[in-house]
Structure 1
Amino acid sequence: MQKQKLSLSEKLAFSFAGMGQNIIYNLVITLIMFYYTDVALIKPEIVATIMFFTRLWDAINDPLMGMLVDKTKTRFGKLRPYLMAVPIPLAIFTILTFAVPDMSPGIKILYAVISYNMWSMTFTITDIPYWGMSVAITENPEERLSLITMVRIFCNIGMAIGILVPPILINSLGGSTVENSAGNARAYLITAMIIGIVGSALFALAGFGTKERVKQSSEEAPKFRIIAQNKPLLILQFSRLMGAFRMVIATAGLYFANKNLADPNQYTILGGILILAMIFSMFFAPKLVHMWGKKMTYINTLILGFISHILLFILGYGNLTVVFGLLFICGISLGINDVVTYSIVGDTVDYLEHKTGKRAEGIVFSLNTFTTILQSALGLAFIGIVLAFVGYQGDVVAQTPLAYAGIFSLLSLFPAISCLLSIIPMLFYKFTKEEHDHILAELHPVK
């Protein structure tokens, strides 16, 4: 097994690309629900349906994208061509998603379905090759963990920008993230233009600033059905699906700040604390992995997440200092879990190659993207269902007591339950560091 070191410039290029991708992703995932219900004035139950079926369709086509990637053969490799080609379409569809015309309800819904579908599919084309590159850049597991840790830190900086900056831009452009106003449509559109262009420009660095080094061990492209032989990956993805309702707390937090607290500025503080904790915790993730191993680090972060969310639900939000303190702990849980998740996925690429003789970064990471999208679909649809059930009204600031309780549960109770459910599959995860080291030694013997 080779011990090549990645250059700082290549690590930075790949990391800044992740930042750009996450700026765009979190703009859309955080604001799209609120944009549809409170700006475009589409009913929450309809928005929930759009969210679910759009993301479900995108999840279904992820495996197709993964197989396409693994069949690609060019002088640039099988991953880089997509990373070089997709930034411009990503910017265009990000902008169009926030350009719902002020026409009849039927036209609004049709436009939302088409534009959101196009954005979602374009994002898939960015995500699968990007994370496939994280294991194609180097075969050295220590370098991979170092790279992924750095990338996830930059990704969370991108998350911070994508969550915290758009509300500031919207308000400065004459819009509002609290109530419907005459300037909202223009403000959201210009914000999407700024974020879409900047994020896509950064993402272009993934294609133009990196190099594929780990090559396919077999000339024949793998088929998606071989994923059934990757038991560690399947267990991890099932665990992630069980954690779907904790992955949309940024969206729930927007409703919580705007309605329960009636102060959009609190969302900036809330999101900032959460993301700061995530970034801070990532610096310690490699040390925790070294101490506990990846499986137990993953499980322990879920236990920590459950404790913090359930305490938040029990204590309520009468004291914002307590709320922010518990959210900081939630962020620590999310940050460490995030690094470990992507590191495990990379390990399972090696596991599958050792078992089948085929290196399938595209297929493996397409399943990971499938899970991410399905998480989003389930989480956002669930938010829409809860909002509809509790009688949420997007065109007014004041809500009923039931609506306030429902919104707060989306930030506290449901994520706590999701953490517990997510632990169960990982109890059956058996792929150890020793087994991984043995596999790497056989796949890449020292020459």
Structure 2
Amino acid sequence: MNATASGSVTRTVTQGVRLGYGVGSFCTGTWGAVPGLLLLYYMTNIMAVPAWLAGIVVTAPKAWDLVANPLIGRWSDRTRSRLGPRRPWLLAGALTLPVAFTLTFAGPPITGAPAAIYVGVCFLLSATAYSVFEVPYKTMSAEMTGDYHERTSLLQWRMVFVGVATAISGIAAPAIVNAERPGGTPESYRLMAVFVALVMLAAMLGAFFGTARAPAVIRAAPQQGSLFAQLSAARGNGPFWWLLAIASSQTLSGSVMLAGAPYFATYIMDDPKATSTLFAALVIPLLLTMPMWVWLARRLDKRGAMILAGLLLGGGTAAAMATPVFGTVYTHLTLLVAGVGLGGVQLMQFSMLADVVAADAATTGRRRAGMFTGLWTAIESGVSAFGTMIFAAVLTVGGFISSDPSRRVTQPAGAEAAIMIGQCLVPAVIILMAVLMTFNYRLTADRVS
């Protein structure tokens, strides 16, 4: 999108490409929702893996992302093909992620430590395959337009698809799991995995074919030198690291909430099937409020919109602490408020990252979008997994007892208190810390071309 002499705005990205690019976020939203929502619960309540070990299993494979994602970003920066530098990677992810994800939830009939090892290996393969798709995919938005506000408009479509995918997967996946019996069975988890894998496959292939005619407005030369040299150069990009710190805090809080949702529904609300309705209350506002957040980003600038979104997200999350007093209807209302904030937080994150990447290319003349996005995705992935570990640690401190479908247990009072703290209080504190950090973010509209 470019401004003309009369002040009007001309789009550089066609509607077809916007939709084609946005559909890839079905994979992003699904991957972000399902493992974070169900994997910890699957291990503690289906595979009888102790909570502390399950937390390690979810976190450990993501440590590999800290190495793999920057490498994938760098390699995609330097890829030369008739399909462009990013699209071959999208296709590679589409051919590998669905298989690895299905295997994660479709293991042999084992429990305890052997089950933890199996899930850990399969989840490592899944995380790597996801990075092969997601790092180049996320990079493309910074290269399709050079306009500050068109990047927000372009990413609006992406966030709408993220919201739809999150809603479908976050509601449908628990519904499939709980269809046969509350809490799920090994068979229902396998069926869920196949459904989710097919959704991600369709999304990734859709993005691959849908971006065939995507423009490449930013055509900086690929960054030269070793990976270490590139990382050293990135250290000097203050806006990138500051934005990454803000986004990491927001991601950490979200991953703690996501991991805690099935436990909250099962042990606080006494209804495992409420996982789906709670998730719906959180993500439906994300779908409906994207145009509002685009408008607010223009009125308040992206930093102001991010602050407002964080306050709504943190306030709604903290208010859910009163669930035992006011009941389930109240809980769903608090999550509606949090969901409005979540939509703004996610849109601003990706739009501001695209600004940082574009500003870097304009300043340095180098194409380092893949490197920045790789670093971002690696740290985001690790932080997300660490949020699951935080919740698992809170469960362990509270004395939570793991089990399998053939052996139900009664949880101690300390475990229920831990679930409340982990699901509501801990995420709210982290979100409000991110709000405070956002006040110091400096790459606003008047500093970005």
TM-score normalised by L of structure 1: 0.91
Once the two structures are superposed, the pairs formed by residues 103-118 of structure 1 within 5 Å of their partners are: 103=110, 105-118=112-125
1:392–1:399 Cα contact (<8 Å) kept: yes
**Aligned counterpart in structure 1 of residue 220 of structure 2, from 205, 217, 222:** 217
Cross-structure match for 2:267 = 259
| Aligned-partner Cα distance in 1 for 2:130–2:261 | 24
Once the two structures are superposed, the pairs formed by residues 318-397 of structure 1 within 5 Å of their partners are: 318-395=326-403, 396=408
Cross-structure match for 2:183 = 178
Cross-structure match for 1:48 = 55
Cross-structure match for 2:102 = 95
Q: 1:387 to 1:297 in 2, by over 3 A?
A: same
Between 13-22 and 280-289, report the one with greater CA deviation: 13-22
Q: Percent identity?
A: 22
Q: 1:69 to 1:38 in 2, by over 3 A?
A: same
| Aligned-partner Cα distance in 2 for 1:317–1:63 | 47
Matched letter for residue 418 of structure 1: I
Deviations, residues 123-162 of structure 1 (Å, cap 9, x unaligned) = 1111111111112222233332111011101111101111
Q: 1:220 to 1:264 in 2, by over 3 A?
A: closer
Q: 1:320 to 1:346 in 2, by over 3 A?
A: same
Cross-structure match for 1:71 = 78
Following TM superposition, by how much is the alpha carbon of 1:286 offset from its aligned partner in structure 2, in angstroms?
1.0
**Aligned counterpart in structure 1 of residue 411 of structure 2, from 395, 399, 410:** 399
- SS of 1:40's equivalent? coil
**Aligned counterpart in structure 2 of residue 270 of structure 1, from 275, 278, 290:** 278
| Aligned-partner Cα distance in 2 for 1:404–1:147 | 43
Cross-structure match for 1:8 = 15
2:27–2:204 Cα contact (<8 Å) kept: yes
Matched letter for residue 100 of structure 2: F
1:252–1:410 Cα contact (<8 Å) kept: yes
Q: 1:402 to 1:219 in 2, by over 3 A?
A: closer
2:148–2:448 Cα contact (<8 Å) kept: no
| Aligned-partner Cα distance in 1 for 2:324–2:141 | 41
1:37–1:394 Cα contact (<8 Å) kept: yes
Deviations, residues 9-62 of structure 1 (Å, cap 9, x unaligned) = 222222222123322442222111111111111111101112222212223322
Cross-structure match for 1:293 = 301
Deviations, residues 69-107 of structure 1 (Å, cap 9, x unaligned) = 111111211111101222120110110111232236443
Cross-structure match for 1:194 = 195
| Aligned-partner Cα distance in 2 for 1:243–1:56 | 19
2:261–2:423 Cα contact (<8 Å) kept: yes
TM-score normalised by L of structure 2: 0.91
Following TM superposition, by how much is the alpha carbon of 1:315 offset from its aligned partner in structure 2, in angstroms?
6.2
- SS of 1:274's equivalent? helix
Deviations, residues 301-336 of structure 1 (Å, cap 9, x unaligned) = 222223223333256454222211111111111111
Residue 412 in structure 1 maps to residue 420 in structure 2: no
- SS of 1:194's equivalent? helix
| Aligned-partner Cα distance in 2 for 1:245–1:130 | 22
Q: 1:304 to 1:4 in 2, by over 3 A?
A: closer
1:276–1:331 Cα contact (<8 Å) kept: yes
Following TM superposition, by how much is the alpha carbon of 1:338 offset from its aligned partner in structure 2, in angstroms?
0.6
| Aligned-partner Cα distance in 2 for 1:316–1:302 | 25
Q: Quote the RMSD (CA, aligned, Å).
A: 2.0
1:24–1:196 Cα contact (<8 Å) kept: no
Where do 4+ consecutive residues of structure 1 move more than 6 Å?
A: none
Cross-structure match for 1:125 = 132
Matched letter for residue 85 of structure 2: K
| Aligned-partner Cα distance in 1 for 2:250–2:127 | 21
Cross-structure match for 1:141 = 148
| Aligned-partner Cα distance in 2 for 1:428–1:171 | 45
| Aligned-partner Cα distance in 2 for 1:261–1:219 | 53
Q: 1:78 to 1:372 in 2, by over 3 A?
A: same
Matched letter for residue 187 of structure 2: R
| Aligned-partner Cα distance in 2 for 1:215–1:315 | 49
Q: Can you give the 5+ residue segments of structure 2 that lack an aligned partner in the other structure?
A: 3-9
Matched letter for residue 41 of structure 2: F
Matched letter for residue 190 of structure 1: L
Once the two structures are superposed, the pairs formed by residues 430-445 of structure 1 within 5 Å of their partners are: 430-437=442-449
Following TM superposition, by how much is the alpha carbon of 1:170 offset from its aligned partner in structure 2, in angstroms?
2.3
Q: Can you give the 5+ residue segments of structure 1 that lack an aligned partner in the other structure?
A: 438-447
